[in-house]
Structure 1
């Protein structure tokens, strides 16, 4: 049925099912061929709240305007009818395709440059891979994010309207981490220098984007905990610093960190009940393109790693998203409680905390890299690449799934916090037992290898 859109704009015929294509009526009243006019996408009755923020529960037209999706309330008329339609690709699909294709292109180009510049990962005692792999995944994703922001940010004014400064600060802060990671990949940067730069980036985010955690909620059941500026600043810095390094530590197996970030993005939208925005849509497409390279899905795309630049960038984007939905500085709305956000980054936090505790108990430096992370455990147990990814993905889904249940059930903040601490305790116990099994497995494997070598050495050939 033909609908009457507002403000006298051309009528649009509504489809039975949603589509990534939008339809618009021909300009000519007689139905003849003419330049199509883009269909209206709903009324702009609310304002954008920030680069990462979303509206609570908008109606259909608000969703179309907010997330730049096609107006799904129109149908397609036959081409030979007076209401013939023309098709234009949805901006959401354009953003996705642009990010996917541009990331692949950047990886192909940067891989050649990296080989000449020495920006490659060389296998050693700690890094078990074949050949020198370009560390260009992070720069490729970052360049795709910039490209998508430039192209779609200016075309869809509600993205940048009044928020150009905030977006510039976000990209500048992310760029600092990418450059830091590239330098660290090329030539080692001391722990102190890295830490100071990351703390500086955290302060830039707090001051420039006005993002900080000042209200923790009722964590221990005695009332809401509110932090003043003297406590909120260092606490937010610790949160940003911790999440960035947690995701950096998690990067050690092909495809694992990218899959973990995809899980985080998916859970983020489930928790906040929001639609994909420019940043999450672009990041999702870029990560899928990176997986094509990292897992060698397409032979024409060279294998690449994220490197420290990529892992730090992904950790920064994740923590920026979380701060945006747990604070009230942007838009005056908090979508989830800070304690609920812990479940979004549950496994990275668990892995980092357990690894640091294990190193300290072993008398080692907590900042010295080793092979004691959860992905190294999979290798120590003898799991192959695909089996390890399947097991790790299942484990990575557990914290967000549990957090989603608690969030939707309206569980109190202190109950969610106690459950998170309990999950970490269980994680430590299970990981400790798993590492004992892995050590026994390695000892048995080494014993069999030594017996086999001795048997082959003393074997007498037949006459």
Structure 2
């Protein structure tokens, strides 16, 4: 199984590499590029092809492995629709209301036809399992849109979305693997392999900065959707994508609260921004330069330093989730620590000026002089 998994991952890497090479000139030709503005500080028009390349790679790998169960086919169809929605948004900037309506429709379809449901939050407070019952559909819609939006919002620094999603997929692969859900673990590894060529292009690792690309809304939508699908598949009993489990008494790979630890950085950033915008009497969906990566940039950190700092934070939070899941740490402890993390994060976010000196000392340079 391990050899088969590695062969599939190599195949995913090769296909992804070819597609980024193939789509790059096509995107420029058809005007599928990201143009610089007051929030985007890059130079020139950069192709936004992360979504098409990653989606086509994953579909190819699933096809080669002949893993098109009804649930997987539903994911492929809905993921493709979301990716196309993101491509259109990259091109013409769709209205937020239209994007939300289509995401609600997709989630509702999956809820009823693929058992894509969040029905339990686990034993969060040691008072018994929190079962959602009739609130399940509404909660599932909120979570799906929230996770997709969180990954979309965090895409503001070269490599950040790619690294954060890679960390989440790696943590998921570990949890799926130790619980015997090898098909889901293999899917995560294939996605990691497909992300590597993107990061090489996005971080300008190729000679002469060739084939610079961005993820775009198509990529962030598809990545967020894939992550939330895997989180639900791993934490809820309703989905039966991979039933080959080691422990027959544990039908899920991890507890629902563990899922939040695996995507802590984008989710905490989204929550902090929503709170700030509501306090400022702005729409929670209003785009601005108020995300954590923007705050760190305004402190004087370079994009590479922002990437290192937030990736380190993501590795820490994902590691807590993985260790807690493997050791079966009580859910009340994991949820209490998560609330504490949110409080600390929001305090840093709201009082970032107080931590500026500490951040600069961490990277070994002085505060910028005014």
TM exceeding 0.5: yes
1:322 pairs with 2:231: yes
Q: CA deviation at 1:231?
A: 1.1
Residue-by-residue CA offset, 1:78-112 (whole Å, 9 max, x unaligned): xxxxxxxxxxxxx3333222221221221222121
The correspondence of residues 326-405 of structure 1 with structure 2, limited to 5 A, is: 326-329=235-238, 330=240, 331=243, 333-405=251-323
Distance 2:328 2:55 in 1: 37
User: Residues 269 and 97 (structure 1 numbering): CA distance in 2 closer, same or farther, change over 3 Å?
Assistant: closer
Is 1:195 paired with 2:113? no
Q: How many residues align?
A: 348
Q: Residue in 1 aligned with 2:145?
A: 241
Is the 2:173–2:189 Cα contact (8 Å) retained in structure 1?
no
Residue 250 of structure 1 and its aligned partner are, at CA, apart by 0.8
RMSD: 2.1
1:284 aligns with 2:196: no
Quote how far apart the aligned CAs of 1:211 are.
Answer: 2.2
Counterpart check, 1:121 vs 2:34: yes
1:53-92 aligned within 5 A: 64=1, 69-70=2-3, 91-92=4-5
| 1:200-220 Cα shifts (integer Å, max 9, x gaps) | 111122223212121222222
Q: What is the deviation of 1:279?
A: 2.1
| Residue pair 1:95, 1:148 contacting (<8 A) in 2 also | yes
- How has the CA–CA distance of structure 1 residues 119 and 436 changed in structure 2, closer, same or farther, with 3 Å as cutoff? farther
Gaps (5+ residues) in structure 2? 244-249, 361-366
Residue by residue, what CA displacement relative to the aligned partner does 1:360-395 show, whole Å, maximum 9, x if unpaired? 212222111111111112211111232221111111
> Cα 1:400–1:122, aligned 2, differ >3 Å: closer, same or farther?
same
Q: Larger Rg: 1 or 2?
A: 1
Corresponding residue for residue 108 of structure 1: 21
- Which protein has greater RCO, CA pairs closer than 8 Å, 6+ apart? 2
Distance 1:134 1:92, change over 3 A: same
Cα distance in 2 for residues equivalent to 1:128 and 1:146: 33
1:128-143 residue pairs with structure 2 within 5 A? 128-143=41-56
CA 1:140–1:365 in structure 2 vs 1: closer, same or farther (change >3 Å)? same
> Structure 1 108/269 Cα, relative in aligned 2: closer, same or farther at 3 Å?
closer
Question: SS at 2:221's partner residue?
Answer: helix
Task: Say which structure is richer in helix.
Answer: 2
TM-score, normalization by structure 1: 0.71
- Counterpart of 1:148 in structure 2 is 61
Query: What SS does the aligned partner of 2:251 have?
Result: coil
Structure 2 CA distance for aligned equivalents of residues 384 and 256 of structure 1: 13
